[in-house]
Amino acid sequence: MSTYKPNAIILGSLLDELLLGTAGADLIAGYAGNDAIFSGWGDDVLIGGTGGDLLVSGRGQDFLAGKRGNDALFGGPGNDLLLGGSGNDALFGGRGNDVLAGEDGDDALFGGTGDDLLAGGNGNDLLAGESGNDALFGGYGHDVLAGGIGNDLLAGEQGNDILDGEVGDDVLAGGDGTDLLLGGLGNDALFGGNHNDVLNGQSGHDALFGENGNDILAGELGNDLIAGGNGDDALFGGADYDVLAGESGNDLLAGESGDDALFGGTGNDLLSGGLGGDLLAGEDGNDALGGDAGDDALFGGSGNDALFGGTGNDLLYGGTDEDILFGEAGNDAFLFDADSIASGPDIIGDFTNGQDVIVLADLIDLDTFDPVTQSINDFILTLEVDGNTVIGVDADGTGTEASLQIVAALAGATGLGSAEDMIAAGSIAIV
C-alpha cells in the first residue's frame, strides 16, 4: 500500500488565513479560524479544521475535509473525495468522478460533471447529481435528492425524503419514511419502501412498486407497470398502455387513458378502466369493476363482485361466488361456465334481449344433442319469477329439472320467451 508523501506541508494557526498550495502534492491544514485554502497542481490534502472554511481543489486527485464548522468545498477537475464533517456544509464535486459525503449537519452536495457518489449522512440534506451517472444516498434526516442528467441511483434511506430522477433512466428507492418519488424524463424504476409513499413516474415507460404502506402511484405518460404491494394503495395508469396490480390490501386501480390491464389482487378492490379497451380482473375479494368507455373485458374472480361494463361492447364474467353484472350501454356478453355457476347464480341487472347475449361455455354438450328427438328447451330453461327471468341449465336434457342448475337471474326482464326463442334472437350462445 502506497504512503502519501506531500511535497509541502502548509499549516495554519488560530487566525483567519489564506493558504495557497504549490505545484506539487501538498498537505494544507487550516486549524482554527475561518480559512481559505487553495491547492495547486498535485494530488493534495486539504483540511479545514475548526471554523467556517473555504477549500478549493486544483488539478489532481484531491482529498478535502471540512471538519468542524460550516464549510464550502470545491473539488476541481480531478476525481476528488470531499468530506463535509460536522456543520452545515456545501460540497461541489466539479469535474471528474467524485465522492462527496456530507456527514453531520444539514448539507448541500452537488456532484457536477462525471459519475459521482453523494452521501448525505446525518441531517436534512440536499443532493444534486447534476451531469453523469450518479449514485445518491440521503442517509438519516429528511433529504432532497435530484439526479440531474444521466442514469442515476437515488436512495432516500431514513427520513421523509423527496427523490427526483430528472433526466435519464433512473432507479429511485424511498427507503424508510414517507417519501415522494418523481421519475422525471426517461424509463425509470421507483420503489416506495416502507411507510406511505407517493410515486409519480412522469414521462417514459416506468415501473412503480409501492412495497409496504398505503401508497399513491401514478404512471402518467408512457407504458407503465404499477404494483401497489402491501397496504391499501391507489394506482393511476395515466396515458398510454399500462399494467396495474393492486396486490395485497383494499386498492383503487384507475387505468385512465389507453388500453390497460388491471389486476386487483387480494382484498376488496375498486377497478376503473377509463378510456380504451381494458382488461379488468378483480381476483380475490369482493371487488367492484367498472369498464367505463371502450370495449372492455371484466373478470370478477373469487368473492361477491359487482361488474359494470360502461359504454362499449363488453365481456363480463363474474367468476366464483354470487356476483351482480351490469353491461350498461352497448352490446354486452355475459359469460358463464361450470365454475361460475357452482357457487351460486349471478344477477344481471340490465339485460336487453336481442342486444346482449348470455354465453354458456361447456355447459351444454352439443355433441350429444339430437335436434330431431330433443329440444334445446330441455337443456336450457327460462322461467319468469316475480317480474324477473331466471336462466337455468339441465345437464342431462331430460326436461325433468333433476339436474337443473341456475345460471343467472335477469332482473326486470320479462317476455323473453323460451331458450329457443332467445337463441333465435341472438340472446343466448352456446360454446
Report yes or no on 201 lying in a domain.
no
Q: What is the pLDDT of residues 45-102, one digit of tens each?
A: 999 999 899 999 988 899 999 999 999 999 999 999 999 999 999 999 999 999 999 9
Percent of residues in the chain assigned helix, strand, coil, to nearest 5: 5, 35, 65
- The answer for residues whose C-beta is within 8 angstroms of residue 65's C-beta and 6 or more apart is 45, 46, 47, 48, 82, 83, 85
Report yes or no on 273 lying in a domain.
no
Q: What is the pLDDT of residues 144-171, one digit of tens each?
A: 999 999 999 999 999 999 999 999 999 9
Backbone angles phi, psi at 309, to 5 degrees: -70, -35
Long-range contacts of 244-250 (CB under 8 A, 24+ apart): 249/214, 250/285
| Residue 37 host element (H or E) | strand 36-38
Which residue is listed with cell 500500500? 1
- The length of the chain is 431
State the amino acid at position 21 in one-letter form: G
The candidate with the shortest Cα–Cα distance to 84, out of 133, 40, 126, 32, is 126
Q: What is the pLDDT of residues 170-202, one digit of tens each?
A: 999 999 999 999 999 999 999 999 999 999 999
Report yes or no on 313 lying in a domain.
no
> Can you count the helices (H) and strands (E) in the chain?
2, 43
pLDDT at 4: 56
Question: Are the C-beta atoms of 79 and 61 separated by less than 8 Å?
Answer: yes
Distance of CA 196 to the CA centre of its chain: 13
Would you place residue 366 in the very low, low, confident or very high pLDDT band (cuts 50, 70, 90)? confident
Number of domains observed in the structure of the chain: 2
Torsion of CA 39, 112, 134, 146, to 10 degrees: 130
Report yes or no on 78 lying in a domain.
yes
Q: What is the pLDDT of residues 242-255, one digit of tens each?
A: 999 999 999 999 99
Q: Which of 168, 195, 219 is the last residue of a domain?
A: 168
Q: Which of 168, 185, 203 is the last residue of a domain?
A: 168
Would you place residue 313 in the very low, low, confident or very high pLDDT band (cuts 50, 70, 90)? very high
Q: Which of 168, 202, 237 is the last residue of a domain?
A: 168
Q: Is the pLDDT of residue 1 over 50?
A: no
Report yes or no on 53 lying in a domain.
yes
Report yes or no on 303 lying in a domain.
no
Report yes or no on 315 lying in a domain.
no
Output DSSP code: residue 372.
T
CA–CA separation, 278 vs 308, rounded Å?
Answer: 13
Report yes or no on 280 lying in a domain.
no
Q: Where are the beta strands (DSSP E) in 246-368?
A: 252-254, 261-263, 270-272, 279-281, 288-290, 297-299, 306-308, 315-317, 324-326, 333-336, 346-348, 357-360
**Cα–Cα distances in Å, from 349 out to 61, 287, 337, 410, 413?**
75, 17, 19, 6, 9
Residue bearing the bigger pLDDT, 369 or 295: 295
**Domain that residue 125 falls in:** 1-168
What stretches of 62-217 show up as alpha helix (H) in DSSP? none
